Structure 1
Amino acid sequence: MTVIGFHCSHEQIDPAQLLKDVQHAEQAGFTAGMSSDHFSPWSERQNESGFAWAFLGAALATTKLPFGVVNAPGQRYHPAIVAQAIATLAQMFPGRFWAALGSGEASNERITGEVWPRKEIRDQRLVECVEVIRRLLRGEEVSHDGLIQVNRARLWTLPATVPDLVGPAVTPGTAARHAAWADALITVNQPAVTLQKVLDAYRNAGGRGPARLQIHLSWAPTEGEALAIAHDQWRNNIFTPPVPWDLETVEAFDVVGQSVTPEQVAKSVRVSSDLSRHAAWLNEYIEQGWDELYLHFVGQRQAGFIDAFGQHVLPQLSPTAPAVTA
Structure 2
Amino acid sequence: MRTLDSLILDTAAPVLTQAKTVLVCDDPTGDLERAARDASARVLLLDSDYRRCQAAATGVEVAGDVRLDAFLAAADVVGPCVAVGEMPKSLGRLEYLAKATAGAGVADVTVVFGGNNKHLSRSMNDTLAASFTNVGASRGRGKFRCLVASGPREGTYEPRRANGFVAYGGVFAGTKEDRGGAMLREALPAELGRFLDLGCGNGSVSRGLEGAVSVTATDSDADAVLSARAIGIDTTWDDAGSRFEDASFDTIALNPPFHDRAAVDATQAQHLLDATARLLAPGGQLFMVHNSHLRYRSEVERRFSAVAQVARDATFTVLRAAH
- TM-score of the aligned structures, taking structure 1 as reference length: 0.28
Larger gyration radius, structure 1 or structure 2: 2
Say which structure is richer in helix. Answer: 1
Say which structure is richer in strand. Answer: 2
- TM-score of the aligned structures, taking structure 2 as reference length: 0.28
Higher relative CO (Cα under 8 Å, sequence separation at least 6) belongs to: 1
